[in-house]
Amino acid sequence: MQINRYGFIRVAAASPRLRVADCDYNREEIQRVIGQAAEQQVQIICFPELSITGYSCGDLFFQESLQREALASLQALSRFMQDKPSLNAIVGVPMRIGSSLFNMAAVISRDGILGLVPKTHVPNDREYYEKRWFTPAANLTAHSVGIGSREVPVAACGMLFETPFATFGVEICEDLWMPSPPSSHLAMQGAELLFNLSASNELVGKHLYRKSLVLQQSGRCNAAYIYASAGTGESTTDLVFSGACLIAENGSMLAESKRFSLESELIIADIDLGALRQDRLKNTNFSNDSLPSAHRVNSTLTEVATNGLLHPVPAHPFIPPAAKSDEFLSEVFNIQTHGLAKRLLHTGVKTVTIGVSGGLDSTLALLVTIKTFDILGLPRENIVGITMPGFGTTNRTYANAIALMKASGVTVKEISIVDAVKQHFNDIGHEISDESITYENSQARERTQILMDVANKIGGLVVGTGNMSELALGWATYNGDHMSMYSVNSSVPKTLVASLVRWIADTQMEESSRRILHDVLDTPFSPELLPADANGQIVQKTEHFVGPYELHDFFLHRMLRYGDGPARILFLARLAFTGRYSEEELVKWLKVFYKRFFSQQFKRSCMPDGPKVGSVNLSPRGNWRMPSDAMADLWLKELEEEVGL
C-alpha cells in the first residue's frame, strides 16, 4: 500500500531504555528501536530530549569526556542511518559551541546529520534547573557546527526540514509549555509535522495537562504533533520519568504509549497530510508570520510500501463515537431547536405547519419543532402536523405518522392529495398510468402547496424536513419538498438523522412514543411516490436508486471537509468499508455521487435557511459556494484513471 501517494506519512515517537551517561548503550538501544521502526515502514522517528546521554546527567554535562562521547555516538548514529533511505531520525544530544553548551535536537538521514535545533526556552525552576548547564537558543551566534568533515547547519530562529512528502519542524520540551511555542511559528512557515523531544517528569495530574497541550497545539497549528519523553533508565534521584509518547493530529489523539514501562516504547501513526493541507488552504491567515524566517534544509526520504494504514478512517464520519454520543447529539439537537426558536421569535410567528410522512426526516423535524415550542412556552397545539396520503403511501408510514402526532399532542390534519393530483394530471394532460418523474413530482409539489397555504391560513411558517444527504444528491423535488420557510435538517446528513432519532427516542421519550420511533427507524428510506406492491409494502426504496446513504455520506464528508479527490476517496473507502462493499460497488456509487452532486447544484443554490450543525454544510450562503453549471468530467476522469491502475 503506497500511503505517500494518497497523502499520508508514517511517523513514530520512541522512549528507549537508557543508562545515565552511557552513550554507547544508549546509542545501541536507539539503533535497535530505529531498526524496529524501519521494519514497520516508519519514515520519521523522534526520540526524547538528550536521549544519547540521558536527560538526568546533572553536572556530568560539564564533563568533556561525556561531551566527546555524545558527539562520537551521534556520528556513529549518522553512519548507521546511511542504509535507511526511507527514514529520518531525531535524537537529543548536548552540543558544545564555543564556550556554551546547548541542548540540541539532531536530525539525521542517510545523507548524514542534516541540522541541529537548539532548545529555545531553557527552564530555570526548582525541578528543572537547566540553565545551570545549558544556554538558550537566543544566545547562539554560530550558523553551523563542524562535525567530522562537514559543516552542519544550526539555527537559533528555528529550522524547517523539507522532505518529498512533508515539511517538519522540531522543538524541545519546555518550548511547548510557553505562551508562544516555536512550533507555532514553524507551522506558520510551513511545518506540517511538529516533533518534540522532551524529558517531562511525572506528577499527579500532570499527564492530563501534558496531553491537553499536545492536543491543543496540534489543533491550533493544523498539524501533527509527535511527542517523545524520557522514560525508563533516567535517574530517579528526585524525579520519575514515565516515557510518555503521544501522536496527535489536528486536535485528535492518534496514538499513546504505555507509561511507566520497563521496556523501550515505540508508537506509530500515519498522518493525514491531505486533511491538514486542506484546513490550511481554507485559512487565509495561516501564512501571516512576522518572525524571522526559519532556516530550511532538504531531506531525502524515499516512498514506503506499508501493509495497511495506521490512521482511523471511520465509515460513518458524521456519527459520534459512543463515548461522546450524548454530548454530540445533544448539541446537534440544541442547535436545531434554537435555530428554529430564533426564527419564530424574530418573525413573531407562533404557529407552524410541518408535513409528517412517517419517515425519518419528517420525524426528526417534528421532534425538533416540538422541543422548540416547549422551550418558547408555546402550546404544542400550535404545531399543525399534516399527513398527506398519496398514491404510494403505505399503511405502516401512515399509521406511524398519525400515532406520533397524537402521542406528541400536536394538531393533526389529514389531507389526501389523490384527488387534487388526479385533477392536476387532467389539467396538464398527463396519463395516470405514466409513472414517470411528472407523476412523482406532482405529488411532492402538491404537498408543498398544501403546507404553504395552510401556513398562510393560520399565520404560520412551514418547517422543512429535507436532510443534507438529499440536498447533496438532489434527491428532492425542486420547489416541492426542496422548499420551506426554515429547514431544520438542512445540514444533518441521513446517517446522522437516524442516530439523532434513536437518541431522542431512547433518552427523552416515553415508552409509547419510543415504540413508534423505533418502528420509523426500521422503515426503509422512501419518498413513497410510486404505488405499493400487492402486499402494501414499499416499492420505491431510495437506496436502490441512488445507492447506500452511508457511502454517499462518506463521500460527501471526504470531499467537503478535506477536499479529497476521487482517487483518495476511493482509497479510503476501500479501507473504511472492507468486506462490506466490493470495488465495483464503491466505484459505481462514487460515480453516481459525482454525477448527481454536480448536476443538482441548482437546487442547493436556492435552498431555504437552516442551521449549520457541523463542519460540513451545503448552504450557498455558508460553507459551499459552487456554480450550478460546473462539469464533473475532471473528477470522473480521475476516478477512471484510479480504477485503471
**Residues with active-site annotation:** 49, 119, 173
> What distance lies between CA 320 and its chain's CA centroid?
11
Contact in structure between 354 and 413 (CB atoms under 8 Å)? no
The three grid cell numbers given for residue 458, joined into one nine-digit string: 393560520
- 3-class secondary structure, 6: helix
How many helices and strands, by DSSP H and E, does the chain display?
Answer: 20, 20
Longest CA span, the chain: 101
With CA atoms as reference, report the closest residue to 229 among 168, 169, 173.
173
Between CA 566 and CA 351 the distance in angstroms is 45
Strand blocks (E) in 427-483: 461-464
Distance (Å, whole) CA 433 – CA 436: 9
Compute the distance between CA of residue 570 and CA of residue 173 in angstroms, rounded to an integer: 39
> Nearest-CA neighbor of 405 among 395, 397, 393?
397
CB atoms within 10 A of CB 598: 20
CA angle 305/311/316 to nearest 5° reads 125
Phi and psi at 57, nearest 5°, equal: -80, -20
Contact present, 6 and 571 (Cβ < 8 Å): yes
The three cell numbers of residue 68 are 566527546
Q: Which residues contact 394 (CB under 8 A, 6 or more apart)?
A: 528, 532, 536, 537, 538
Bridge partners of residue 146, in order along the sequence: 151
Contact between 390 and 526 under an 8 Å Cβ cutoff? The reply is: no
**Gap between the Cα atoms of 468 and 474, Å rounded:** 10
* Whether the Cβ atoms of residue 333 and residue 489 lie closer than 8 Å to each other: no
> 618 and 472 in contact (C-beta within 8 Å)?
yes
Q: Which residues contact 162 (CB under 8 A, 6 or more apart)?
A: 296, 297, 298, 299
Which cell numbers hold the place of 437? Answer: 418523474
Cα–Cα nearest to 552, from 470, 464, 625: 470
Name the burial class of residue 55, with classes exposed (0-12), middle (13-18) and buried (19+) by CB atoms within 10 angstroms of its CB. Answer: buried
The angle formed by the CA atoms of residues 150, 49 and 76, to the nearest 5 degrees, is 35
Q: Which three cell numbers stand for residue 180?
A: 508562544
